[in-house]
Chains A and B, each alone.
Chain A
Amino acid sequence: MEPEPGFFRRQSGRLVSALTRIFGVRNVALAEDVTQDALCRALSVWQFSGVPDDPAAWLMAVARNRAIDILRRDRNARRFAPDLGFLLDSEWTLAPTVIDLFEPRAVTDGELRMMFSCSAPGLPEEAQVALILHILCGFSNAEVAGALLSSVAATEKRITRAKKTLASSGRLFELHDDAELQKRLPAVQRALYLLFNEGYHGASPEVSVRVSLCREALHLARMLLEHPACAIPSTRALVAVMSLHAARMPARLDSAGDLVPLRQQDRTLWDAALTAEGITFLDASATGATLSEYHIEAAVAAVHANAKTADETPWAEVVGLYDMLMALRPSPVVALSRAIAIGERDGPEAGLLAVRAIEHDGRLARTPFYEAALGDLELRAGRIEAARRHLEAALERARNPMERRFFEGRLRALVPR
């Protein structure tokens, strides 16, 4: 039996969280060492014996026993987690306490608490995403750097600094304080949303890396739903956005590994089960008085999912949803999506007006998407030379070989000069 893809990294997140609960947030490094040991031991043994029937339980047992050893040997270690100190100080309660903390329910709680701790208000959003990837998703510093397309040195520095902030918080986030939880939850949702987006629209040239970012984000978002206080409508809407977008992934690349735009995707390749899950969560999110940005984004994705062909897309509905999103959470990226939808609804000239009317600080214009949208609209307006200029500009801004090939293909398809 082979462990499922991402098994080791996901277990790494579970073990580090459970061990941090025991050793305290000041000792994340110790939790990481014990985790690394457990994973290495698994690797060594499983190379020979094969993977056991319940590999997760095997790993938990190794980590648990190691934790008990450390606590027995090192008196100081028992005082790391202030709320557990008295339980760990007595031989009668030490082992039972640790064993309880490795029960599946407690481990999931530990992961959730870690997720909330990683989304602390003192941390910039990029640092939150990096920390979640590193601690909860088991990405090495180098892998985080690759996924977020920054240098290894800068990523290492960012993660080290974020861990210091985590350590200074004294203890893991408490889930039972409902007021605090509701206050922090939007930041957690946002970090997971950014993580998913990094996989979906991100710059990493490795398709497998980006797919795993989306998969991990969806996994963590579903985990949020397991906690009653986190299973609120906006969290369901968040899972709906992710599921509906993830459903399209099989159609986003053709057999040559080249990008296929939404309009040209073979919709029969969309993952029907994920689409259905997304629609179910979107329906379930339609309760309560608060409309979140995730509701609206999920609604847009659902409109696309329900259109059998690109031509059947009710663009007026899409524009209406983007209008709502602009009112709720305006951003240049949303404005661009809205302008493209207007171009579909009212024709290319209207679309061009809408794109050019976007107020932005220049960051949008540095992405390939802005120029690509202009190029598409000019092409539909029949102005080939203008389209060429914009597609060439998009090509210059392409962030990886896949995007470059995409724009090169678009340029080749233009009528020759």
Chain B
Amino acid sequence: MSEFVFLYRGGVMYKTPGEPERSPEEMQAQLGKWRAWMQELGAKGHIKTLGAPLEQASKVVSGPKKAVTDGPFAEKDLVSGFTIVEAKDHAHAVELAMGCPVFAIGGSVEVRPVMKMQM
């Protein structure tokens, strides 16, 4: 088994201009799907670290002058949360990510293998 980080982007249901409004009913449905997916991953022993959701506020420190800027990202590019999973290989981890309900509301999941510290 290897470890992979799921980086969730977008898919939060805040009202944004141009997007259709999200009703409380849709939010509850989304919560139900997400819980079912996470519980299934957990039951099959794939969750290494549950992870956490991240706030929208973003500050980026960069450059030798350590310039601080607000996260230059559009909402869909902002990492909205992460989870560390265990899977056989990269393909398997991608397959697990396929079940994430974030896609239905315009979000994405980046699947990154965690580098092994010991060879």
Which residues of chain A have a CB within 8 Å of any CB of chain B? 2-3, 5-9, 11-12, 33, 36-37, 39-40, 42-51, 138-143
Of the candidates A7, A8, A33, A51, which one forms a contact with B15 in the assembled complex, judged by CB atoms under 8 Å apart? A33
Of the candidates A3, A33, A44, A143, which one forms a contact with B28 in the assembled complex, judged by CB atoms under 8 Å apart? A3
* Chain A residues near B13 (CB-CB < 8 A): 39-40, 43
Contacts A48-B38, A48-B81 hold; do A39 and B27 have CB atoms under 8 A apart? yes
Of the candidates B20, B23, B25, B53, which one forms a contact with A47 in the assembled complex, judged by CB atoms under 8 Å apart? B53
9 residue pairs A–B, Cβ–Cβ below 8 Å: A5-B28, A6-B25, A12-B24, A39-B13, A40-B27, A42-B31, A44-B81, A47-B38, A47-B81
CA distance A331 to B51 in the complex (A): 60
The answer to the question of B45 belonging to the interface, with a C-beta cut-off of 8 Å to chain A, is no
The answer to the question of B52 belonging to the interface, with a C-beta cut-off of 8 Å to chain A, is yes
* Chain A residues near B27 (CB-CB < 8 A): 8, 39-40, 42-43
* Chain B residues near A51 (CB-CB < 8 A): 31, 35
Whether B23 lies near A46 (C-beta < 8 A) is: no
CA distance A43 to B24 in the complex (A): 10
CA distance A153 to B62 in the complex (A): 46
Residues of A contacting B: mostly: helix
CA distance A324 to B82 in the complex (A): 65
Whether A140 lies near B23 (C-beta < 8 A) is: yes
The answer to the question of B12 belonging to the interface, with a C-beta cut-off of 8 Å to chain A, is yes
B contact residues, range: 20 to 34
Whether B23 lies near A44 (C-beta < 8 A) is: no
Whether A48 lies near B50 (C-beta < 8 A) is: yes
The answer to the question of B34 belonging to the interface, with a C-beta cut-off of 8 Å to chain A, is yes
Whether B14 lies near A48 (C-beta < 8 A) is: no
Whether B24 lies near A47 (C-beta < 8 A) is: no
Whether B32 lies near A2 (C-beta < 8 A) is: yes
Whether A143 lies near B25 (C-beta < 8 A) is: yes
Whether A50 lies near B35 (C-beta < 8 A) is: yes
The answer to the question of B77 belonging to the interface, with a C-beta cut-off of 8 Å to chain A, is no
CA distance A50 to B27 in the complex (A): 14
CA distance A40 to B56 in the complex (A): 11
A158 to chain B, nearest CB (A): 16
Whether A36 lies near B50 (C-beta < 8 A) is: no
Smallest CB gap from A7: residue in B: B28
Give 10 closest A-B pairs by Cβ, nearest first: A140-B23, A8-B24, A8-B28, A44-B53, A9-B24, A138-B24, A47-B34, A12-B24, A40-B14, A43-B27
CA distance A143 to B28 in the complex (A): 14
B44-84 CB mask vs A (1 if < 8 Å, else 0) is 00000011110000000000000000000000000011010
The answer to the question of B89 belonging to the interface, with a C-beta cut-off of 8 Å to chain A, is no
* Chain B residues near A40 (CB-CB < 8 A): 12-14, 22, 27
Of the candidates A7, A9, A47, which one forms a contact with B35 in the assembled complex, judged by CB atoms under 8 Å apart? A47
CA distance A289 to B24 in the complex (A): 42
CA distance A2 to B50 in the complex (A): 18
Whether A2 lies near B35 (C-beta < 8 A) is: yes
Smallest CB gap from A12: residue in B: B24
